[in-house]
Chain A
Amino acid sequence: MISPRLAWLLVALGALMLVLAPIDLTGIGIPYPGLKRYGTYIMTLWLVTAIAAMGVNLIVGYAGLETLAQAAFVGIGAYVTALMVKAGWPFGLAFLASGVAAFAVGIMLGFPALRVRKHYLAFVTLAFSVLAWLVFRNEQWLTGGVMGIGDISRPTLFGHTLRRHVDFYWFVLAITAVLTFALWWIIRSPWGRAFTALRENPIRAESLGVDVRLYTLLAFAIGSAYGGLAGSLYAPLVEFIDPNPFALGPSLLFMLMVVVGGAGRFAGPFVGAAVAVLLPEWLRFAEGFYLLIYAVLVMTMMAFCPTGIMGLAERLLPARRRPTAAATAPLLGEAKP
């Protein structure tokens, strides 16, 4: 464990680096040319993916439920935004509507979770994922079917259009920061404690007054809303959407990101999304072998460190000293009152 002060310092440093990532710093004597157009696009995609993965981390990592439907919620957000923006609505409203729509559908998907858990629940969400994908593909009058929806314009902020990749990147970065803070707040609040209780022992939690049904629905709804909000940013990022990125495969990838990053660890989704989005780019030198290398890396990771990369980092960092060490503590019966 690192101290909270050091953790904050690392977060601030990381945020600064992310802000400066697309800027050419050679002018001020730092040998960093800044990200080019494609690099900035990939970084934006990483942020959008991390938002959706944060939602999965809430559902799976903190509340101990299962979801194989996050890509469907990203799809809901993307289509709601695309349709609203094309109909002339402002992006801000479309963004909120995407979150609300995913939240509402997330509550509905939460109801089966009140009855089944573990892999049974995973299959329920898997079925929903297929259903949503069929709607995206077949309801041509609404979604454009396999032809998708094109020319999705980027938002305008204070009269300034975010057409340039770098402007949109900063916009997404700011939204990611807000959503990250919001989830951090939820996790560290009594709600977060209730979600953890849900994961660790729902029967005991219920006996302590925790409304397990309500918190289950809330976990699904909030986690899915994060998917919807990510989708709302994804549509203007790629400017064209079709059903493929919202199919079952990408949903499995979101689950993989959370597990590889470290389920139930706050930074896990960012690390997991980096593995899923950035690593393939870095492995491009291997050309046709990159998927093979990627698969072997993931298998090795899961076999030797099931707690994910963040879990591995926690193991490698020296344990923080505690003022009272358990090993030297007297047995309870011998303790003085």
Chain B
Amino acid sequence: MRAGFSAASDGGVVVRLKRREFEALELVSEILESVGQVGTDPGAARLDIDAYTDDEEASAEFRRLMRSEVEQGRAADRSAFAVSLEAAESGQVTLSAGEAEAWLLAVGEARLVLAARLGIKAEGWGEDESEIDPPMALLHYLSWVQGSLAEALLEQL
């Protein structure tokens, strides 16, 4: 069994993580709870939705219709993630397919928020390893989680 995430025979995903990795994943919930307002938090701006690049009226209408649904879905992911993370830490190491999806989305959102707050706007940000502060280290770790989880879920398609 490889470290990280692997496809389980029942369609779910098996989790194999060290204590420190669970601690890092607990920060995902903290990051998502800290998301503020679009005007002041670059993380919130990155999570905001849009569909039209050149039609402000249509953009506003799209946001009006879809924003609350997106937010409800994200809130459901966050709580499913938090509950199953706690279960995984106490030994329940197989996630259902639905829980694994919630992990993937919660981790993905936290990465977007972190990266936006770090001012990452272009490719190549992962290459400079000379200055890795804690938020950047967490972003790197969550990149690995995203990749490992996505691979496990791809095997289940």
> Is the A/B pair a real complex?
no
Residues of chain B at the chain A interface (Cβ within 8 Å):
none
Residues of chain A at the chain B interface (Cβ within 8 Å):
none
